Structure 1
Amino acid sequence: MIINGQEFAEGDRVKVQKGGRSYEGILMPSRSGNIVLKMSNGYNVGLAPEGSTVEFIEKSAPPAFRLAPHVHIENKQLPTVSILSTGGTIASRVDYRTGAVSSQFTPDDIMDSIPELTEIANYKGEVLSMIFSEDMDASIWQNLARAVHRHIKEGAHGVIITHGTDTLMYTAAALSFMVQSPVPIVLVGSQRSSDRPSSDNAMNAICAAAVAVSDIAGVTVVMHGSTSDDVCYVHRGTKVRKLHTSARTAFQSVNEAPIAKVDYATRAITVSGEYQKRGEKSLELRDKMDGRCALVKFYPGMPADIIDFYLDKGYKGLVIEGTGLGHVNSGWLPTVKKAIDSGMTIVMASQCINGRVCDRVYSTGIDLLNAGVIEGQDMLAETALVKLMWTLGQTTDPGEVRRIMETNIAGEINWRTQV
C-alpha cells in the first residue's frame, strides 16, 4: 500500500507521527484510506494520512496458515463427496499480526481442522476461488455451476460448497436455477472464523456433510439452527435469507419452514417439509445468465428517473422492491410503462420479509399490472433478481420471459402462503 508516496506492506511494523503524538504498531488492511495500526495493547487506531509521517521499523514474516496435514485414508465403505471452496469465513483464519480475517483454507485444510468429516464420507476437493462473498458476481456463479456439474458427472455422491455468508443466498438461488441435480448440493458457511471459541464452522460443516450423503437432493443451505450447538437447519436454496449481521442463527427460511433439521450430536436428519429426493431428477446444466439486471428498493419520494438510468445503461431487467403488496409511487407509472415498452422486464417484489406480492388489490397495483409489470409472488427479492438474470440468459422473448418468471422452477414460488 502507498502512504504519502511511500510503499508499505500489510503486517509491517511502522511508527506514525501525527499531531505531535507518536503511534507504533502493525499496519493493518484498510479500505477507508486511513492508516490503521494494531498497537501492542491490542487496540486499533485509525489515522488520516494527511499530516502524518510514517517511519518503517521492521517487516514481519507472513503467517503460516497451513495446518499440520493429516493423512486422509480412503474408507471404501463411505461415499465420495466433493468440497468446492469459494472462500468466506468458514475457510478463513484471523491473522493476529493485523487482526484481519483472510480466506486461506483449502478443502484439505478444512478436513484437517474438522477431522470428524472423514467419518461421514471420503472427499475430493477443489479450490474455485478464495474470495469474500461480496466479490461474487454472475460469472463466478457460472464457473461454480460448471464445476458442480462436472463433479456430479464424475460420480460425486454429493457436493459441499463453502461460501461467505453475506451473499450466500444469491449463490444458492443461482445454482438452484442453473443446475438440476440428482444429488445433494449443499452450501455452507460460518458466521465466525475457525479460531474463535464461538465459531460455528465445524458444526455447520459436519451437518452439511450429513446432508450431502442424504437423500435430500437439489440445492440447500445448511446453517446453525439455534443459539446452542445442537441443530442445524436445512433451507431450500431459493427460500433462505440472512436475517442477522452476526448471529450464528442468521439464516432462516422465508415464506416456508426449513426442509429439515440435523442433530449435531447424532447427525440424524429429521425431515419436516417437501423436498426433491436423490435420483428424482436427471443432471442438467443451464448456465447462461444475463447480468444486466438490477435490484431497486423503492422509498417514499424516490424519483422515477432511476428507471431511466438503468434503461439508458442498457440494463435488460429490473426487480423493484415495492412497499407492502408491491407498490411504488403512482407517479412512476409512465416511466415504468415506457421502460417495459422499450424492452425492459420489470418484476415486482416486496420489501416485507414474509407474505406475497398482490397487485390486484389497490388501483396502483392494477395500473402496474396493466403497464406490464410481472408479479414476483412470494419470491424473495434476491431470488427474483437471480431468476431474472437466469431467465434472460435462456430467452429474450417477452412472452417466454414472463412465462418462466411466473413458473415455479426450483421451489422459489409457493402458490399458497404457508407462514
Structure 2
Amino acid sequence: MAEKRLLLLTTGGTIASEASDSGLVPRESGQSLVQRLEKLPYDIDVKDILQLDSSNIQPEEWQLIATEIYDNMDKYDGIVLSHGTDTMSYTASMLSFMIQNVKVPVVLTGSQVPINVVLSDAPDNLRLAFVAAATCEPAIYLAFDRKVMLGCRTVKVRTINFDAFESVNLPPIATVTSDGLVFNKTISLPKRNKKCQLKTNLETQVSLVKLFPGFDPNLLFAMVDAGCKGIVIEAYGLGGMNYIRRNLVAAIGKLIDQGIPVITSSQCLYERSDLTRYEVGRLALLEGAISAHDMTSESAITKLMWGLGQGMDVHQIARLFETDLVGEVTLE
C-alpha cells in the first residue's frame, strides 16, 4: 500500500517556541518539528504559513488558514495544523464552519512545552496528529494528550498540565491505548452530503459576555452602540438570567427587536442550556433569546461570527442555532 501523503501547516505556538529575553517566542520551522520525530510511515510535506503565539491568531489568520487547507485538500490524504494552545479551540471551531464537508481529515495539535525541551509533550502530540490525519474520517479534529476530539467540541481547561483539552458533551473520537488508536464506535459524525465549499466571510463585531450578579444590561446597549452585531451570553445554569431590578430579559427583547441576535449558553462547562425549564429562562425565550443548547462558548461565538458573515439576519441566525452543521451541537 502506498504511503499516505500528509501536509503539515505550521502557525507557530508553544510547540515551535524557543526561549528569548522576552519569553517564549515561536521560531522553529515545520521541517524542524518533523525532524525531531523518529521516521513516520507517511510522505510528509511541510508549509510554514504563520509564526505567531496563538493569542495573536485572529479572524484574518483564520481566513488564511482555512484557504490554505481548502487549496491543499485535493493534494493530500490528510492535513495537520500545528497551533498554539490558547486559541486552538476557537480556530478548530471556526475552521469547522468555514470548510464544511471537508474532504480529508484536518487535525490541529500543539503542546504545553516547546518541542526542544527534553520532556516536552510535543512529539507525542505531533505523532498522534499525523496518525489521526492518516486514519480518521474527513472532519476537523484536535489531537492532544492521547485523545482525538472533534474540533468544534473542544475547550482548553488547563494551563500547565499536559491534559490541556477536553471534549465537552461528546466523548473523544478516538484514544491511544496499548492497542493503538482506538475509535469510539458509538459516535457518528454528520454525513458529508454536500460539496465542500470555502466560506470565510465573518462578522467580527460580536461579543461574548459572562453574566454575573449585578450585571448592568445597559452595557449590552453600549456594545451595540459601539457597533456590536451579535452577542453570546454565558447565563447561569440551564440559561437563567435576572429580570428583577436589572432587567436583562427585557434588554434581550429590545436587542432582538433591533435585529441583534442574542445567543444564550451556560456558564457550566458540561451539559446543555435549556431555557424552557425555569421561569428565568422561559421569559428570555419569549423575548427571542436563542439557545446554544450544549455548544461550547468557543463554538457558539464562532458560529455566530460565521453566520452573520454569511449575511444572515436575526431570524436566520435563530434557525442556524437549531441546526447541527458539523457535530457542534446536540439537538433533542
Tell me, yes or no, whether TM beats 0.5.
yes
Superposed CA deviations along residues 251-305 of structure 1, whole A, max 9, x for unmatched, are 1111121011134x77x32111424499876432121211111100001111111
CA-to-aligned-CA distance 1:7-33 (integer Å, 9 cap, x gap): xxxxxxxxxxxxxxxxxxxxxxxxxxx
- Identity across the alignment (%): 30
Residue by residue over 1:294-337, the C-alpha shift from the partner in whole angstroms, topping out at 9 and shown as x without a partner, is 10000111111120121101111100000101122211122221
**Deviation of the 1:396 alpha carbon:** 2.7
Residue 98 of structure 2 corresponds to which residue in structure 1? 178
Question: C-alpha separation between the residues in 2 aligned to 1:278 and 1:358?
Answer: 26
Query: Is 1:91 the counterpart of 2:5 in the alignment?
Result: no
d(CA) in 1 for partners of 2:207, 2:116: 37
The answer to which structure has the higher strand fraction is: 1
Q: Distance between the aligned counterparts of 2:190 and 2:322, measured in 1?
A: 24
How well do the aligned residues superpose, as a CA RMSD in angstroms? 1.9
1:216 aligns with 2:137: yes
Q: Does 1:77 align with 2:7?
A: no
| 2:270 is the alignment partner of 1:354 | yes
User: Secondary structure in 2 aligned to 1:285?
Assistant: coil
Structure with the larger helix share: 2
The structure with higher relative contact order (CA 8 Å, sep 6+) is 2
Q: Verify: 1:163 aligned to 2:74, yes or no.
A: no
Distance in 2 between residues matched to 1:303 and 1:195, nearest whole Å: 48
Cα displacement string for residues 363-392 of structure 1 (whole angstroms, at most 9, x for unaligned residues): 121111111110110001111000000111
Of residues 311, 321, 334, the one that matches 2:234 is 321
Any gaps of 5 or more consecutive residues in structure 1? 1-75, 225-231
Equivalent AA in structure 1 for residue 19 of structure 2: V
Larger Rg: 1
1:303 to 207, 211, 216: 216
State the TM-score, normalized to the length of structure 2. 0.93
Provide the C-alpha distance between the structure 2 equivalents of 1:261 and 1:275, rounded to a whole number of angstroms.
16
Cα offsets for 1:164-193 (capped at 9, x unmatched): 001100000001111121210000010111
Q: CA–CA distance in 2 between the matches of 1:221 and 1:270?
A: 15
Superimposed CA distance per residue, residues 67-91 of structure 1 (whole angstroms, 9 cap, x where no aligned partner)? xxxxxxxxx9312111111110111
- What do residues 328-367 of structure 1 show as CA deviations (whole Å, max 9, x unaligned)? 2211122221111111110000000111111112112111
Task: Say whether residues 1:104 and 2:27 are aligned partners.
Answer: yes
Looking at structure 2, the residues matched to 277 and 384 of structure 1 have their Cα atoms a distance apart, in angstroms, of 18
2:119 is the counterpart of 1:198: yes
Is 1:249 the counterpart of 2:249? The answer is: no
Note the alpha carbon deviations across 1:194-247, whole angstroms, 9 max, x for none: 2323210000000100011113220000000xxxxxxx1010111111111110
**How many Å separate the matches in 2 of 1:200 and 1:278?**
33
The answer to whether the 8 A contact 2:155-2:167 is kept is yes
Q: How does 1:390-401 map to 2 (within 5 A)?
A: 390-401=306-317
